[in-house]
Structures are given as C-alpha cells and as structure tokens.
Chains A and B, each alone.
Chain A
Amino acid sequence: MAILVDETTRVVVQGLTGREGRFHALRNRAYGTQVVAGVTPGKAGQDVEGIPVFDTVADAVAETAANTSLIFVPPRFAVEAVYEAADAELRLIVCITEGIPVRDLARVASYLRGRSSTLVGPNCPGVISPGTSNVGIIPGEICTPGRVGLVSRSGTLTYQIVHELTQRRIGQSTCVGMGGDPVHGIGFIGSLGRFNDDPETGLVVLIGEIGGDDEERAASFIAEKMTKPVVGYIAGFTAPPGKRMGHAGAIITGSRGTAQAKAEALEAAGVKVGRTPSEVAELVEGSLS
C-alpha cells in the first residue's frame, strides 16, 4: 500500500531528455519504478534507453497509461509542465525543479484546488516507497522497506534521518519530500492524513524547519486527528531572524517561524521532538519497541 507511490505508479518524466531528467529517470527505473514515458516538446518519436518520448503529456498518457508525472523542467517552464500534467488528470505530479517564482506557485495552488491531481514539491527530492517505487532523486539504497512514514521539507536532511533509521534496521513505508518553497503542493497535513489511513504505516516522522507555520498547523492536526505516534525534528534553532537559510521558505519573519515555537507546538500535541537527527532515530526506536 504505502502512500502516493506504489506498484501501480506509472511515471511520465517531463524533461526526460535533459541531463538531470535522463539521469534520475534511469535511476528510478533501475530501482524498479515503472518509468513508461518521457515528454519533451519537439522530440516525439525519440527514446531514452527504450523509454519513449512524446510531445505532450496527453499523448504520453494515451499511449502508455502513465498516471504520475515527474518534472525536471527549468524554473521558467516548470509551472507550464505542472498545468499540463494537471490537465491530463494525472493523479500525482512530483516537481523537483528549484527556483520557481512564488507568484507562479500561488497561481498553480489556486488552479489545483478542486482538481484530482496531487502536487508534491516543487524544490523537493520526490517520493519513495522503499522496495516498490521511487519517483524523484532520493537515493534508493539508503532506504529499506518498513513501517515508518516520513514527511520532510528538506532533501539531504531526510537522507540523514532515513540513513540513521536504516542503520538501526528500522524500515520506511514511504518518504515524502514536500520541498522547501513557501508555497507548495502536499504538506505535512496531507501526508499525515494519508499515513494515518495507511495500514502499512505504524509511526510517522515529521521533519520541519524554520519559516511559515506548516509545523504549527500540523501540530493542531496531530492533536485532533492522528491516532499513530509522531516523532519530530526541526532544523534551524540557531538561524538568525530575517536571513533566508538556503531554502526559499526557510526564513524567520520578525518573531514568526522560529524553530523553538515549532518544536513547542509539536510537543504540546504529544509529538516527541529530537534535538539531533540521531536522537530522532532513537526516539523512533523507543516508540516502536
């Protein structure tokens, strides 16, 4: 089962013929993911190591029954790719691209309301259900199948925590990289809700960071709705206010969006919050035993 991606996932890669698109599409396929098509306007009829390329997502869907899009398109054209995937009614759209103007994302967010597609990202590492399907750039070899769901605003920090879990022989059901932009697709709440309903997930790890109020809203959701234990981590306790820490969304505005406030909100909702990635893995181990 897992969430978002599983053995029924059939991927069309938008931007397959680019350097990044090609590299990761082939890695995803080698992992066992069904990568069935690529889209690059003007390159229909070509293929990338046997993956057929189409001019449009609609063509790719008609020919290959793709149901999930993975986007590696430069920031200037990436939102166009999201609209195209949404209009083709793909169930999941995973956008890896970093650097999309936030106004374009706000418009996408409005457009997607009430539609059937779920967006993951942008500026994210993608989604993996270990052992089944990998849609994005998360290194499959650090993951192992199991019952811990992860959702995170960060890429490599997720790898670090997954690695610590795997080293302790704790496997994962699905890892969701929701991305580091201020306006994004699926968030903590959407992921937590799906994990709560997923019989293969027993515990959820939430990895947040400074900026915005996604973690605070997640805390309310956890207090009201979650029946499964949640372990948390927040990055950026030492980040100064007003400075953007790498991610477009990682900024403390005035007194809002601090790591301290987020950790306190989560703890008040019954979440155990680790102070280091290793402590997160220890807390997970403790909760499972």
Chain B
Amino acid sequence: MDLYEHQGKELFAKQGIPLVEGFVVGSGEEARRIAERLGGKVAVKAQVQIGGRGKGGGIALVGSTEEAEAAATRMLSEGFRRTAVTRVLIEQLVDIDEQFYAAVSLDRSAGAYLAIVSSDGGMDIEQIATERPAALRRATIDPLLGLHDYQVTYAVGHLPAGAREGSADVLRRMYDVLVQNDATLVEINPLAQLKDGLVVALDAKVTIDDNALWRHPELESLQSAFPIDPVELRAQEAGLQYVKLDGEVGIIGNGAGLVMSTLDVVQLAGARAANFLDVGGGASAEVMATSLEVILSDPSVRSALVNIFGGITRCDVVAEGILGALERVTPNVQIVVRLDGTNAAEGRAILARAESPRIVTAETMLEAAHRAAELAGAAA
C-alpha cells in the first residue's frame, strides 16, 4: 500500500521527524483559508501517487491566498496526469539552503534493509545513481540488529557539516517509522536544510507491506482515502486478487504466475487482457462464480477466458461455478474455458452437459488464448 504524501507525513510527525507546517484540504475555498493562516506564501501540492509533480504542474509555489485558491481549484478540477486529485496539501513556503535525499527500504535480494543518503536531492534517485554515484552512500541494515550508530555516521558523512546532525536524527527516525509500521519503503526527497539550519522532510513516500496490515489496524483506515474503480472494489470485497488493465479479454486463472502467463499469451495471440484475476488455490464454486460476475461486469470485456490448471483447485468445482454464474447473469460475451489437472475430465463433462451457447471449451492454454482473442476481435 503506497501512502499519499500527507499520510506519510502523519507517520513522520508521530515519530518526531521535522516537517513544514501544512494542512490537507479538499477545496479551493479551504485552500485559501489555510494559506491565509500560513501567511499567504505557500506550496500547493496535489496528493497523487505519481512522481514528477514538480515539473508537471502538481506542485505550485504561490505568493498570495488568491493564487493558492486558484492553484488548488485547478488541481482539484483538472487532476494530475489523468489521475483525479481529491486532496491538496497546503504547506508554508520555506527558505531552502540545500537539498538531499534519504531513504530506508527493503533490499529484497539481500533479505535486509538498505539506508541510502544522497548529497543531491530533489531529483530522480535512479538518475543520481547513474550520473553521480559518488553522491550516494549506502548502509545495509541487518533486520535482527537494526541501524547502528556508525552506519548513520557513515551514511550522512558526505553531507555539509552543518546538516549532518539533523540528517542523522532524521535517518534514525525514518528507520523507526519503517519498523513500527511494517513499511518496505520510507523515502524523503528532498530532505532539505533550511536557511535557519533546520533539516526537514519536504516530501514523504511510504509503502506499507500489505501482508502486515493485520498488525496495524490504525493504518487500514488510510486505505479508504484511495479512489477505487467499481469493478476493482467488487473484486476486493470478494477477496479476489484483481488488477484492472486496459484491454478487452477478461481473464480468470488460478495462481499468479499462470494468470500473468495467460495475459502474455493472449497478447501474443493478438488481443489484450482487460484484467488480471487470480482466484487462488482451492477456489470454491462460489468464488469462481463471483469472479466471473466481476469480469463480466466490466464494460470493456468483449470475451472472457478461464484458464485453470487444477492442483488443489478442482476443475469440476470450477465448472459448477461457471454454470452458477450463468444462472445469475446473462453475459453478452463468449466465455472460453480451458481446464486441466485435478478432475479436468469431470469438469469438462459438466460443461458439455450444460450445452450453454455462451461457453466455448478449449483443449490447451494456447488454443484457449487464440479463441478468446478471435472472439474479442469479432465482438469489437
């Protein structure tokens, strides 16, 4: 779960990381009031989870309350890079002396955490890593031992002398934010030293491990702030692994790898997937039926493809689920079904007996993908 900047900053505030004074608002009118309270000179920042806000008009530095209102109104009505903006963050403008970068993140290949501090900030970190590798210092953190003082000293050792103490303090607190919230990424870009010497977090990027949300009921409420596609919401409520994509073949499979592979094979067959949907292992007829209903409710779907390789999942149960869905909804698209593995013969027999004009069976995954692509093309 990727948090919005203002949500990340709430976690920072709790951990004592210095921030610039600011408030989240949902209208131009509120933006004006807050700007007035902050003295007129403010930064207006669209709350979106896309990078490049600075260059793309997602951040406006303004000198008056009227300008603050206008900027907020524009962002809220126009959105940012085709993404709706429902909130903007209004922050006091500050005098920046130097900009740095700091992050603590999961290093998945090392099975450890990694702290990175850069003496250059405010730009893309991958770009800094390529162009000015000497600006970066890294320290690998053993999750059993935590962040050592010597690692902190090293990590900030290339910053200007006056910024080291403040940055070291921020880095230690960032690691605390990561540990206490089960985050996989805590990033500040830029980390700024102000003219008065204070080191503050001007931005906040925090990713929380979805697998650990049960340990953090206080964070689950943050999720309600995310806009969600209606089909996605339905899938989420049914406990399905669903990702909306922009093609026309609705896809259901069991197991993440097989579903990803099915998406790829459909593309090779000349069509594009409308979604990723993994019913998981041992899916019941009810889960299968709900899955089919979910993808059939997507208006962009022109054909559907059910690709099941039964292990713990039983193909006869899958077949019953498909028929169950057809009793509840009348689809206007064809459904290509490929069943293999556990009880595949029984499953195929159930579908054959039903003689549904909506169901097309296929022997192999490849054949199924080609059929689904053809049907989607014909329905276009």
Contacts and interface: CB of A to CB of B under 8 A. Distances in A.
Contacts of A106: 106, 111-113, 143
B214 A76 contact: yes
B376 to A, nearest CB: 15
B212 A101 contact: yes
A110 B142 CA distance: 7
B237 to A, nearest CB: 17
A105 B263 CA distance: 30
A237 B257 CA distance: 12
B331 interface: no
* B253, B254, B255, B273: residue with the most chain A Cβ atoms closer than 10 Å: B255
A75 B211 contact: yes
A247 interface: yes
B331 to A, nearest CB: 24
A102 interface: yes
Contacts of B255: 154-157, 159, 246
B241 interface: yes
Interface string B154-195: 000000000000000000000000010010100000000000
A182 interface: yes
Nearest to A237: B264
A214 B312 CA distance: 27
A77 interface: no
B378 interface: no
Contacts of A245: 243, 256, 259-260, 276
B162 to A, nearest CB: 32
Nearest to A183: B111
A155 B112 contact: no
A272 B226 CA distance: 42
A235 B212 contact: no
A239 B255 CA distance: 15
Interface stretch (A10-18, A54-62, A205-213): A205-213
Interface string A239-267: 11001111111100011000100000000
A142 interface: yes
Interface stretch (A63-71, A86-94, A194-202, A274-282): A274-282
Interface residues on A, range: 35 or more
B337 interface: no
B111 A110 contact: yes
B281 interface: yes
A39 interface: no
Nearest to A275: B268
Contacts of A142: 341
B19 to A, nearest CB: 25
B368 to A, nearest CB: 12
B286 interface: no
A28 interface: no
Contacts of A75: 211
A103 B258 contact: no
A65 to B, nearest CB: 29
A159 B340 CA distance: 10
A237 B266 CA distance: 11
B144 interface: yes
A102 B113 CA distance: 11
B272 interface: yes
25 contacts: A99-B211, A102-B108, A103-B179, A109-B111, A109-B143, A138-B311, A154-B260, A155-B257, A156-B258, A157-B257, A159-B255, A163-B309, A182-B184, A235-B260, A238-B263, A239-B260, A239-B263, A240-B243, A245-B260, A246-B278, A248-B211, A259-B264, A276-B365, A278-B365, A278-B366
Interface of A: 23-24, 75-76, 99-103, 105-107, 109-111, 125, 137-139, 142, 152-160, 163, 180, 182-183, 207, 209-210, 212-214, 217, 233, 235-240, 243-250, 254-255, 259, 275-278
Given A103-B182, A125-B311, A235-B260, 19 more contacts: A102-B212, A106-B111, A106-B143, A110-B111, A137-B281, A159-B311, A209-B260, A214-B109, A235-B264, A236-B263, A237-B267, A238-B266, A239-B263, A240-B243, A245-B260, A250-B256, A254-B126, A275-B264, A277-B265
